[in-house]
């Protein structure tokens, strides 16, 4: 069965303190790995898709990387507005675009 594990469960950073979130996965035939941001009371907001090992994507202070077993979301010099829950999800095998989500990392950035 496809599995996605995210760590840490929660992360507290000072503004400007860079760090990384981890998403490790066990799937049969990865089709895509997705990062989402979710603010309290809102739906997940799409950030990145990664399709193959070695691929990297960047958006403002965020950079996502992918290996054959895990993905990292690097946050450089975070700001308080980066506080949110970050969700990782995978599409695998021949499923019709089914996403399997991890349980997320709650990030809090203090000023």
Partner 1 sequence: DTAVSQTPKYLVTQMGNDKSIKCEQNLGHDTMYWYKQDSKKFLKIMFSYNNKELIINETVPNRFSPKSPDKAHLNLHINSLELGDSAVYFCASSPRRGGHYNEQFFGPGTRLTVL
Where does this chain bind partner 1 (CB under 8 A)?
31-32, 34, 36, 38, 41-46, 49, 51, 85, 87, 89, 91, 95-101, 103-104
Nearer Cβ to partner 1 (37/75): 37
Nearest Cα residue to 5 out of 61, 89, 68, 66 = 89
Please identify, using beta-carbon distances, which residue of 20 and 103 lies nearer to partner 1.
103
The single residue listed with the structure tokens 């503004």 is 15
CB count, 10 Å around CB of 39? 12
Task: State how far the Cα of 96 lies from the Cα of 69, in Å rounded to an integer.
Answer: 22
Output 57 or 61, the one with its CB closest to partner 1: 57
Q: In whole angstroms, what is the distance from residue 31 CA to residue 56 CA?
A: 15
* Shortest reach from residue 11's CB to partner 1, in Å: 15
At its nearest, how many Å lie between partner 1 and the CB of residue 25?
Answer: 15
């Amino acid at each position: 069965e496809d599995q996605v594990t995210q760590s840490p469960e929660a992360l507290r950073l000072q503004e400007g303190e860079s760090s990384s979130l981890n998403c490790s996965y066990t799937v049969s035939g990865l089709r895509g790995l997705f990062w989402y941001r979710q603010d309290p009371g809102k739906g997940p907001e799409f950030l990145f898709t990664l399709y193959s090992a070695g691929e990297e994507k960047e958006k403002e202070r965020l950079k996502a990387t992918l290996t054959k077993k895990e993905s990292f979301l690097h946050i450089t010099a975070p700001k308080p507005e980066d506080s949110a829950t970050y969700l990782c999800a995978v599409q695998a095998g021949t499923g019709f675009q089914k996403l399997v989500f991890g349980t997320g990392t709650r990030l809090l950035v203090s000023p």
